[in-house]
Structure 1
Amino acid sequence: MTRKTEIGYYALLVVLVLGSLRFGQLMWQQQQTLSHLQKQAKQLKHKQAIAKTSQQKVKQVVAKSTITKASETSQQFFNLAYNWSSGSDYKKRITKIKQAKLVTSQVLANDYLFPEVDGTADYIDNNGLKSSVVQVAYYPKTTNDDQTSGVVGVAVNAKHDSDVGNGETRYYYFNIDYQTSDNQITSLDYVGRLAVNQSTDFNTFNPYE
């Protein structure tokens, strides 16, 4: 091998080595860039998950706060609902509700909701039928603490003394408006009764669907 050929050989070898090193460096840089991008994507996904969870927590807290603020209204409505769902003196119950001016005459004329003795024997102490309000739930239209309207659900249980078991529970709901200044109910309109095939769990029931 001549010296010129030898020099050319070594020069080619150096070029190949340098090329390999450069290629390796580029591959390493590419791998580092890819790893960095993957890390950023993972961090972004984690932040989004945290933000979503945090947002849900805020919504839950606000909703709970609204319901807590409306608890006085719910308590008043509980008492009102008890007046028409239990007790043996129908006339006194209706008179009290009329005096409160909380429901329209059309609602009061509903003999299914406000049954007279010997009429539709439903949720009055007639012939041993005992009824009581077992749950009142308030659903504000929004989670705004100043919201003054929403839906109230009332669960009423009726049972004869001779019945075996827990009797029957029916679920009614109403549109309601009240004043934020003193939580007094300003209007109450009967909407209807939940059908048998509807959810009767007030924790999952959504009157706005």
Structure 2
Amino acid sequence: MKLVVVSAGLSSPSSTRLLADRLTAAALARVDAEPEVIELRDLATEIAQHFVTGFPPARLAAALDAVAAADGLIAVTPVFAASYSGLFKSFFDLIDKDALTGKPVLLGATGGTARHSLVTEHALRPLFSHLRALVLPTAVYAASEDWGEDGLARRITRAGAELARFMSPAAHPTSHPTTPDVDTAAAIAPRSLTGAITSLHATTAATLIPFEQRLAALRAE
């Protein structure tokens, strides 16, 4: 399996990359996957060129392909103006509209203050929901004062475990068991309605008059 990590940190070293690395380690502790890290700051020029020319340079094309082929994705951004960074948004604007459909995505963000802790909910989660990704329940925000705190470590561990669970093949069955000789309407109905549907079918079958018989009766009139 392939785990792709997108980090939009701009500095080196970067707290955004640090959070991405810790989330990656938490996931890899529970699932056997090959990680690949994409540093968006190294692709900033190529991203701008793609917007202008409509064609991705080779390195950017490889990054976009890696995201599309991933079995799981970790996406981490610094907070700018109470939202994701422009570089982060620009990269995901270039992702094919179907590339993230059903793909488990773990969201993370870093900022200087805890006041931006809801950025994962009001900005990141709607973005990836729009891309039809499977956004994991736990998103991790790390403010400057969170580093070294047990609370951040617990959130990272929980988020990594969720990603590992959804990346597992058992979480994505290739086929769905069916029950033979079960009427489709009854099979998909809630249990409370199954009896009513069955009764309706029984009543309909009991009162059904063959077409030939109805036609013969009409001709006799």
TM-score of the superposed pair, with normalisation by structure 1: 0.22
Query: 1 or 2, which has the higher helix percentage?
Result: 2
Between Structure 1 and Structure 2, which shows a larger proportion of strand residues? 1
Bigger Cα Rg: 1
Q: TM-score, normalised by structure 2?
A: 0.21
Larger relative contact order (Cα-Cα within 8 Å, sequence gap ≥ 6) = 2
